[in-house]
């Protein structure tokens, strides 16, 4: 499973193959653009946006931005990790039963089953969280959402230790059980063979003692048969030892992936949640629009980022936690700026003799702030899903899992999920549909990340450029030439695909 360059081909052939592989990943990324935009339009319509608008007065513009941003990013991170854990569980079951060792078909079956389980788990988790968030906002408002986010963040660290313990115990039982069973079968076969040889030797000695004659040809045939059986037993023992080593290697890698993602889920959301709690708390006490909140927010972000980045044991969750916190800060700034633009426009209109009532200005401010918060948070959550999906696809290709299997397999699964989500969208509601589509984006991110990793493994620049060209052209073509959106998503996917979270 070592990282190597792709097989030697001519530069033109590498460019052609790379373009095809990149186009597959790019097309599935572009195919998610329109459904995701439609889901966002439904969420920002007058009806679904009304509960959010009413809560701007409660938590303030900055509090609204940080709260919605932290919630959206937490949803994205949780759904991706849920998919990774489900995929790892399926792969671990295959490895424990050694189905992946039997043949090429079984190996493909392992990757296909794990990929399908991971994509389905991500989509289902996103839909569930989307429905839950929509219900909380409608019934308990933003304060209820703040409480739910806080409780979820507090519960994640202790639950992650419990999960680690249960995972290790389950993995040890399954792995050791399969190894013990196979060793016992070989030992029984070896013992039976030894007993059979001992009986044959004893019978021959008894015949010689009684003065009987023995057929040399018959005994020679018997000893040849026994020797062949002994050689077969030795061969099975060697294969068993090799399979055990391979099993432990794959299982160790699966365990590393799971434990790193569980750490990531448990701790990466803490910086975002702390920022959301502080700014929302200022809003609840009536300081939501005060300049001091901005100063406190900026200082808080700087302090948390400094403490995380200066850590001597820097981990992947710290990096993503800082990125998520900074993204939350940007969403809050955009939310505040949207309201300030309304005020500036109203002042210009008043100077021009077109005065508006204070109530109309306040309503328009709340609407624009809520709209900007939803748009920015949803786009950042989509980037997060895409990037985290790419962190799965990239390492799979670098660890020689098979670039074609990963890219095409993830793309096919994402296509199927996309069609399924669009079919059941009326049953999911706005929140559930949006969460499910974010999960599909995560599945597409696996294909995009794998394509990005392939671009860096060619032996020639033509192969690299061909893969990148296929990725970009496929994404733009299927995405109806959404140049700004695709132009932001592809670099994010590439950076995350090249990142080693393990």
- Whole-number pLDDT of residue 211: 62
Decide if pLDDT at 297 tops 70.
Answer: yes
- Whole-number pLDDT of residue 213: 54
Residue that the structure tokens 């003692």 belong to:
209
- Whole-number pLDDT of residue 1: 41
Tell me the C-alpha to C-alpha distance, in Å, between residue 455 and each of 21, 80, 447, 449, 499: 9, 24, 13, 10, 14
Tens digit of each residue's pLDDT (9 = 90 or more) over 363-419: 888 888 888 888 999 999 999 999 989 988 888 888 766 778 888 888 999 999 988
Q: What CA–CA distance (Å, rounded) separates 324 from 451?
A: 25
Residues in the chain: 502
Q: Average the pLDDT over each of 44-53, 72-81, 174-183, 422-431 and give the range with the smallest value.
A: 174-183
- Reduced to 3 states, what is the DSSP secondary structure of residue 399? coil
Tens digit of each residue's pLDDT (9 = 90 or more) over 139-197: 888 888 889 999 999 998 888 888 888 887 776 665 555 555 666 666 677 676 667 66
- Whole-number pLDDT of residue 386: 92
**Which one, of 495, 387, 496, lies nearest residue 441 by Cα?**
387
Decide if pLDDT at 105 tops 70.
Answer: no
- Whole-number pLDDT of residue 2: 43
Tens digit of each residue's pLDDT (9 = 90 or more) over 196-243: 666 666 666 666 666 655 555 556 676 667 677 777 767 777 766 666
Task: Return the structure tokens found at 183.
Answer: 């060793």
- Whole-number pLDDT of residue 179: 56
pTM of the entire predicted model? 0.82
Decide if pLDDT at 102 tops 70.
Answer: no
500 — pLDDT class (breaks 50, 70, 90): confident
Decide if pLDDT at 350 tops 50.
Answer: yes
Backbone angles phi, psi at 289, to 5 degrees: -110, 10
Can you tell me the mean pLDDT for 259-271? 87
Q: What is the number of alpha carbons within 13 Å of residue 313 lying toward its C-beta? A: 0
Tens digit of each residue's pLDDT (9 = 90 or more) over 436-490: 999 899 989 999 999 988 888 777 888 888 889 999 999 898 887 888 888 888 8
Question: Between these two residues, 9 and 49, which has the higher pLDDT value?
Answer: 49
Decide if pLDDT at 279 tops 70.
Answer: yes
- Whole-number pLDDT of residue 218: 58
User: 22-36, 281-295, 420-434 — which one is most confidently predicted on average?
Assistant: 22-36
Can you tell me the mean pLDDT for 309-316? 81
- Whole-number pLDDT of residue 63: 85
- Whole-number pLDDT of residue 9: 66
**Which one, of 122, 462, 75, lies nearest residue 269 by Cα?**
75
Question: Between these two residues, 160 and 354, which has the higher pLDDT value?
Answer: 160
Helices and strands of the chain, counted as H and E runs: 14, 0
Task: Return the structure tokens found at 496.
Answer: 């995350």
71 — pLDDT class (breaks 50, 70, 90): very high
Q: What CA–CA distance (Å, rounded) separates 439 from 229?
A: 53
Task: Supply the mean pLDDT for the chain.
Answer: 81
């Amino acid at each position: 499973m070592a990282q190597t360059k792709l097989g030697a081909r001519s530069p033109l052939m590498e460019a052609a193959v790379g373009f095809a592989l990149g186009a597959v990943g790019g097309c599935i990324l572009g195919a998610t653009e329109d459904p995701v935009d439609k889901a966002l339009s439904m969420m920002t319509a007058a009806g679904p946006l009304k509960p959010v608008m009413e809560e701007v007065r409660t938590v303030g513009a900055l509090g609204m931005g940080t709260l919605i941003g932290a919630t959206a990013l937490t949803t994205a991170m949780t759904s991706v990790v849920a998919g990774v854990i489900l995929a790892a569980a399926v792969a671990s079951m295959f490895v424990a039963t050694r189905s992946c060792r039997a043949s090429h078909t079984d190996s493909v079956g392992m990757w296909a089953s794990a990929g399908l389980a991971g994509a389905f788990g991500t989509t289902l988790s996103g839909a569930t969280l989307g429905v839950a968030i929509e219900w909380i906002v409608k019934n308990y408002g933003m304060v209820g959402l703040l409480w739910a986010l806080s409780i979820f963040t507090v519960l994640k660290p202790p639950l992650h230790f419990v999960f680690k313990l249960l995972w290790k115990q389950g993995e040890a039982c399954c792995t050791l059980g399969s190894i013990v069973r196979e060793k016992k079968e070989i030992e029984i076969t070896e013992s039976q063979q030894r007993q059979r040889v001992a009986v044959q030797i004893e019978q021959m000695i008894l015949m010689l003692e009684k003065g009987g004659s023995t057929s040399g040809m018959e005994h020679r045939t018997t000893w040849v048969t026994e020797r062949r059986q002994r050689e077969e037993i030795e061969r099975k023992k060697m294969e068993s030892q090799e399979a055990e080593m391979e099993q432990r290697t794959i299982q160790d890698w699966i365990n590393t992936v799971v434990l790193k993602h569980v750490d990531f889920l448990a701790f990466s959301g803490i910086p975002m949640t702390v920022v959301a709690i502080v700014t929302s708390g200022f809003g609840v006490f009536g300081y939501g629009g005060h300049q001091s909140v901005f100063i406190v927010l900026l200082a808080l972000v700087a302090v948390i980022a400094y403490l995380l980045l200066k850590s001597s044991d820097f981990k992947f969750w710290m990096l993503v936690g800082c990125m998520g916190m900074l993204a939350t800060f940007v969403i809050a700034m955009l939310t505040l700026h949207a309201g300030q633009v309304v005020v500036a426009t109203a002042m210009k209109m008043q100077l021009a003799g077109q005065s508006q009532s204070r109530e109309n200005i306040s309503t328009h401010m709340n609407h624009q702030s809520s709209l900007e918060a939803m748009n920015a948070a949803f786009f950042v959550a989509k980037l997060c899903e895409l990037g985290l999906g790419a962190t799965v696809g990239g390492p799979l290709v670098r660890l020689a899992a098979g670039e074609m299997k990963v890219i095409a397999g993830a793309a096919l699964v994402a296509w199927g999920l996309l069609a399924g989500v669009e079919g059941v969208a009326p049953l999911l509601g706005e929140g559930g549909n949006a969460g499910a589509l974010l999960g599909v984006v995560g599945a597409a991110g696996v294909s995009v990340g794998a394509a990005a990793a392939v671009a860096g493994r060619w032996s020639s620049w033509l192969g690299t450029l061909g893969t990148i060209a296929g990725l970009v052209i496929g994404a733009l073509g299927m995405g109806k030439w959404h140049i700004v959106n695709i132009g932001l998503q592809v670099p994010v996917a590439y950076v995350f695909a090249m990142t080693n979270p393990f």
